[in-house]
């Protein structure tokens, strides 16, 4: 690929780690002062409270945000350093060489004609057994036998589904797996996050209500195990009460508390509801290797069935899972601070970018308070300069 690019006299696209625009960590006041220095011969002491050149700072920042927004680009597939012989690529590659074209064609035949039918058969078997098995277990009387059957039905079906995706999972620090009632918190890249965790342990799950195929599976699962499914608009108190009941019953809870899927590069704000209960939190970091297949679900672009087919036509889903030591809320912490501490630990272990933004921005507009913050900073700078000169 590199030889072909040199022959055509263009460079391969190499994404920067921090984005496509190089940004220095400077403050609003410093950058505006720099613009004033370059655009005026006046000294800073004689600079008026407002200069027309200040507008260029906000225009530039607006263009940078449009071109390289650190939030919205987390809702699309991450860029790859090199092509992984799949259809998705980060560069508009044309014809490179006959050898590469033949190799890609053989890959298509293997993935679509050999691997895909086997994976569909395994997925159909696993999902059918899960729906039928959990429905049958749901008719059993509550007790140890029902719990035993529910655990083994879930584990068996999840492991079949994991094999249907050719998922190669490496679990680290298994001694930190949940052993008592608590909440297992993980970063959320894909709906298969819960399958990857549940194939290594028995959990009651917390998640959003879905329709279609996912909804059928959720309604069947809840009959055998006390999962918690809720709507986005559901009353918060009802959600917390349901969680507390599950914890009293001794179940481990696995919670994808981001509320939306974030690509494989970062972690965004955790919902604080699960951290207000006072239970022990078991953080888990999940990191996928995009060289073999993209596990990220762009729900605004692909439906569940299309997304599963895309994964089943990839080479494999390779990921690492780290079980972190359990964490508890400290006496001087509120729920938000505790959630941020857990999020930082997950991001640090998984090599992910720790962002303070809310994942809900995928579907909602930015709050006016964020917009007003920049206005307040600029106003403070102007008023501060005026007050300093008044004192002198």
* pLDDT, tens only, 159-187: 999 999 999 999 999 999 877 667 888 88
Say if 75 falls within a structural domain. no
**When comparing pLDDT for 219 and 12, which is higher?**
219
Do the domain assignments include residue 343? yes
- Of 78-82, 145-149, 189-193, the range with the highest mean pLDDT is 145-149
Q: How high is the pLDDT of residue 121?
A: 94
Q: What is the pLDDT of residues 217-245, one digit of tens each?
A: 888 888 887 777 776 555 454 455 455 44
Give pLDDT, residue 101: 79
Q: Which one has a higher pLDDT value, 165 or 254?
A: 165
Q: Which residues pair with 208 in a beta bridge?
A: 230
Confidence (pLDDT) at 385 = 53
Quote the pLDDT of residue 119: 94
Structure confidence at residue 247 (pLDDT): 47
Residue 251 has pLDDT above 50, yes or no: no
Mean pLDDT of the chain: 76
Band of pLDDT at residue 40, cut at 50, 70 and 90: low
Please check whether residue 195 lies inside any domain of the structure.
yes
| Total tally of structural domains belonging to the chain | 1
Instruction: Report, as an integer, the average pLDDT of 96-110.
Output: 84
At 96, the pLDDT band (50, 70, 90 cuts) reads low
Residues spanned by the domain of 229: 165-357
Q: Is 283 inside any structural domain?
A: yes
Confidence of residue 43 (pLDDT cuts 50, 70, 90): very low
Residue 79 has pLDDT above 90, yes or no: no
List of residues 6+ apart from 24 with CB closer than 8 A: none
Domain membership flag for residue 313:
yes
Contact assessment for residue 258 and residue 190, using Cβ atoms and an 8 Å cutoff:
no
In a domain, 217, yes or no: yes
Predicted confidence (pLDDT) at residue 125 exceeds the cutoff of 90: yes
User: Could you tell me if residue 203 is inside a domain?
Assistant: yes
Task: Tell me the pLDDT tens digit for each residue of 304-363.
Answer: 788 888 889 999 999 999 999 999 888 888 888 898 899 999 999 998 888 877 766 666
Residue 90 pLDDT exceeds 50: no
Quick check: 9 pLDDT over 60? Answer: no
More confident residue, 209 or 42: 209
Residues 6 or more apart whose CB falls under 8 angstroms from that of 18 comprise: none
Is the per-residue pLDDT at 283 higher than 80?
yes
Asked if residue 140 is part of any domain, the answer here is no
Q: What is the pLDDT of residue 168?
A: 92
Closest among 356, 310, 83 to 191, alpha carbons compared: 310
pLDDT tens figures, 366-392? 777 777 777 777 777 777 655 554 554
């Amino acid at each position: 690929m590199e030889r072909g690019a040199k022959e055509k006299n263009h460079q391969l696209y190499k994404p920067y780690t921090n984005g496509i625009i190089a940004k220095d960590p400077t403050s609003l006041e410093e950058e505006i002062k720099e613009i004033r220095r370059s655009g005026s011969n006046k000294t800073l002491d004689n600079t008026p409270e407002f200069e027309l050149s200040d507008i260029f700072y906000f225009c530039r920042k607006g263009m940078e945000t449009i071109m390289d927004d650190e939030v919205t680009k987390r809702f699309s597939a991450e860029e790859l350093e090199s092509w992984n012989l799949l259809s998705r690529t980060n560069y508009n590659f044309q014809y490179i060489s006959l050898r590469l074209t033949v190799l890609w064609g053989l890959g298509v035949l293997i993935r679509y004609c050999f691997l895909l039918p086997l994976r569909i058969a395994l997925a159909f078997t696993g999902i059918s057994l899960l729906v039928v098995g959990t429905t049958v277990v749901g008719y059993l009387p509550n007790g140890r036998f029902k719990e035993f059957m529910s655990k083994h039905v879930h584990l068996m079906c999840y492991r079949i589904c994991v094999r249907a995706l050719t998922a190669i999972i490496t679990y680290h620090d298994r001694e930190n797996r949940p052993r008592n009632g608590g909440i297992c918190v993980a970063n959320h890249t894909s709906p298969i996050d819960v399958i990857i965790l549940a194939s290594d342990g028995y959990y009651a799950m917390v998640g959003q209500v879905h329709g279609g195929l996912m909804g059928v599976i959720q309604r069947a699962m809840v009959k055998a195990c006390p999962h918690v499914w809720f709507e986005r608009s559901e009353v918060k108190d009802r959600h917390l009460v349901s969680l507390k009941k599950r914890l009293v019953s001794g179940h481990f809870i696995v919670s994808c508390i981001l509320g939306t899927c974030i690509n494989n590069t970062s972690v965004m704000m955790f919902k604080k509801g699960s951290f207000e209960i006072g239970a022990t939190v078991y953080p888990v970091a999940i990191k996928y290797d995009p060289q073999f297949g993209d596990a990220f679900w762009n729900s605004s672009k692909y439906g569940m069935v299309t997304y599963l087919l895309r994964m089943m036509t990839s080479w494999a889903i390779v990921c690492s899972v780290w079980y972190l030591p359990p964490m508890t809320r400290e006496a001087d912490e509120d729920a938000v601070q505790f959630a941020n501490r857990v999020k930082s630990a997950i991001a640090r272990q998984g090599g992910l970018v720790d962002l303070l933004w809310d994942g809900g921005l995928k579907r909602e507009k930015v709050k006016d308070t964020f917009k007003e913050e920049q206005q307040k900073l600029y106003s403070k700078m102007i008023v501060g300069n005026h007050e300093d000169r008044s004192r002198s």
